[in-house]
Amino acid sequence: MLQALALAFGLAMDATAVCAARALHSGAKREHVILPLLFGAFQAAMAALGWLGGNWARTYIADWDHWIAGGLLVAIGLHMGVEAIRHDEQKDEKPGSALLYLGLAVATSIDAAAAGLTLPLIPAPSLLVLTMIGVVTAVTCGLGFAVGRALGEKLGPRLGIVGGLVLVGIGIDILIRAP
């Protein structure tokens, strides 16, 4: 069971960082609900796809996952940084679009598909592990968003630049670590 919990927390970390960065940029209250639920659902669903797809999916996931995830995170991070610079005098309370939310959810959950391949190796029922992945991701993302929002309120809207740089950094790290 500890392996399942460790896997869930490991998969949740990039999504949590993205939520915190998004809170620094926008801080729109509806995102505090939408992003954790969406990210938790996508993490669990992508892990399930990896589990169900088995060896067939491994080839396709391994060939493209880092390019898709890294590219999306770099592009979104750059966009967030530019927007923060443009709106440095007042915080942008407008929430993002559905397309942005889906892009972030996909970018942060692609690694979960690859991790799903390992579910049969974890000594716990796979459905329980999938549930843990979704719940842990949603909870940590909610906490990350709250922390990001609090920092944004204390340190000002320019902190959105930092949020964008965090996403760019995560994206570059994914690209560098790729085989």
Mean pLDDT, consecutive 10-residue segments, the chain of 179 residues?
A: 84 86 78 95 93 68 71 76 65 72 88 77 86 96 91 70 77 79
What pLDDT was estimated at residue 88?
A: 53
What pLDDT was estimated at residue 56?
A: 64
Kindly list the domain boundaries of the chain, sorted by start residue. 2-177
Q: Give 143-146's long-range contacts (Cβ < 8 A, gap of 24+).
A: 143/16, 144/16, 144/17, 144/19, 144/20, 144/23, 145/19, 145/20, 145/22, 145/23, 145/31, 145/32, 145/35, 145/36, 146/23, 146/32
3-state helix, strand, coil in the chain (%, to 5): 85, 0, 15
- Asked if 18 contacts 167 with a C-beta cutoff of 8 angstroms, the reply is yes
What pLDDT was estimated at residue 174?
A: 75
